[in-house]
């Protein structure tokens, strides 16, 4: 055996692992019908790590501070309790709540006074008695445009959100800001092909802390909205894979995905199933798998 052949034989080839794909397991189930899923529009369900608190927002449910409010239900041994508006609602728009993985904070959006732009990202501490005072995340995250759907990554190092600020690929784009102590590094668009000329928004990390579920539509105001999943390769996200009809509806909008912190293999989302008049909250099990790529290789 020649020297070159010998050297080649000694090289240990590590197979490239295919990116995780998302497989939906079973059918979506409405969350807390009559309590959270009602005749009003309910969007973006987030469940605390201890599974005892559920938050979501409604654009039209009466009884809140401003009509566009975040609502809460507490779970006991008897089930989910009555829905009540949270203490940090304002007379303006308060929406898109998201617990952090450690349960210490709720991130959300608001156009309340004291912000930097239109809809800004804020957070409140979770306390024994409820919630602390609202805190604006400042100019490294917010700007004069609108920011939607904040979510802190499972490891607490990256804040994911969307914005229609200048400098993106199109309309609303997905952005991320790395944490730096109690502050953040200036937000930048997610690298890769995930941001397009369409609207990309309402993003959530999945259980691996890398794969991202998000909503996309040519125009969120005029076109049907569907959920996609994008995977990252060498720091760059692909354009995303459309989730199946078990999640997306062929007629109605589907958006507001969020991981269930009490069961990381469960995705929550909002959908207007069958073109019904209101958005309801759903939970569905999923798993990340590379089986599809392996099956394709076996078939060759």
Residue 259 lies in a domain: yes
pLDDT value at residue 17: 47
Beta strands in 111-211 (DSSP E): 120-127, 130-131, 135-136, 147-152, 158-163, 173-180, 183-184, 188-189, 199-205
pLDDT value at residue 290: 62
Residue 7 lies in a domain: no
Residue 250 lies in a domain: yes
Measured distance CA(166)–CA(160) in Å, rounded:
17
pLDDT value at residue 277: 76
Q: What does pLDDT average to in each consecutive run of 10 residues of the chain (300 residues)? A: 43 47 92 96 97 97 95 96 98 98 98 96 96 97 97 97 93 96 94 97 96 96 95 94 93 96 96 85 92 42
CATH code of the domain containing 148: 2.120.10.30
Domain residues for the domain of 266 are: 18-299
pLDDT value at residue 20: 59
Sheet holding 226-230, edge to edge: 199-205, 212-217, 226-230, 241-242
Q: Is the dihedral of CA 33, 59, 107, 199 positive or negative?
A: positive
pLDDT value at residue 19: 52
Residue 3 lies in a domain: no
Q: Is the dihedral of CA 269, 186, 123, 58 positive or negative?
A: negative
Measured distance CA(106)–CA(96) in Å, rounded:
10
Residue 8 lies in a domain: no
Asked if 148 and 203 count as a contact pair (C-beta separation under 8 A), the reply is no
Residue 34: left if φ>0, alpha if ψ -120 to 50, beta else—which one?
left
DSSP 234-249: TTEE-S-EE--TTTS-
Let me know how many helices (H) and strands (E) the chain has, helices first. Answer: 2, 25
Residue 12 lies in a domain: no
Residues in the chain: 300
pLDDT value at residue 145: 95
Measured distance CA(4)–CA(248) in Å, rounded:
54
The closest alpha carbon to 282, from 23, 34, 36, 82, belongs to: 36
pLDDT value at residue 276: 72
In total, how many domains does the chain have?
1
Residue 9 lies in a domain: no
pLDDT value at residue 83: 98
Contacts of 156 (CB under 8 A, 6+ apart): 100, 101, 102, 179
Residue 82 lies in a domain: yes
Contacts of 237 (CB under 8 A, 6+ apart): 190, 191, 192, 193, 194, 212, 230, 231
């Amino acid at each position: 055996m020649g020297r070159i052949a010998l050297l080649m034989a000694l090289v240990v080839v590590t197979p490239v692992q295919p990116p995780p794909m998302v497989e939906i397991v079973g059918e979506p189930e409405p969350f807390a019908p009559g309590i959270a899923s009602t005749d009003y529009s309910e969007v973006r369900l987030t469940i605390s790590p201890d599974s005892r608190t559920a938050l979501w927002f409604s654009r039209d449910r009466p009884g809140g501070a401003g009509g566009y409010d975040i609502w809460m239900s507490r779970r006991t041994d008897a089930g989910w309790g009555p829905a009540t508006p949270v203490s940090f609602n304002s007379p303006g728009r308060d929406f898109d709540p998201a617990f952090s993985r450690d349960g210490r904070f709720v991130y959300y959006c608001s156009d309340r006074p004291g912000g930097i732009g239109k809809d800004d990202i804020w957070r409140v501490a979770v306390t024994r008695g409820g919630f602390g005072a609202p805190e604006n995340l400042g100019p490294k995250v917010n700007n004069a445009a609108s920011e939607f759907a904040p979510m802190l990554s499972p490891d607490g190092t990256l804040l994911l959100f969307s914005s229609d600020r200048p400098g993106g690929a199109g309309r609303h784009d997905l952005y991320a800001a790395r944490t730096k102590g109690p502050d953040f590094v200036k937000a930048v668009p997610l690298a890769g092909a995930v941001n397009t000329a369409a609207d990309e928004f309402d993003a959530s990390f999945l259980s691996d802390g890398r794969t991202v579920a998000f909503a996309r539509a040519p125009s969120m105001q005029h076109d049907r909205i569907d959920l996609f999943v994008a995977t990252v390769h060498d720091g760059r996200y692909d354009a995303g894979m459309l989730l199946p009809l078990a999640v997306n509806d062929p007629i109605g909008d589907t958006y507001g995905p969020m991981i269930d912190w009490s069961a990381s293999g469960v995705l929550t989302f909002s959908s207007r199933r069958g073109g019904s008049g209101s958005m309801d909250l759903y939970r569905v099990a999923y798993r990340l798998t590379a089986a599809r790529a392996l099956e394709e290789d076996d078939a060759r």
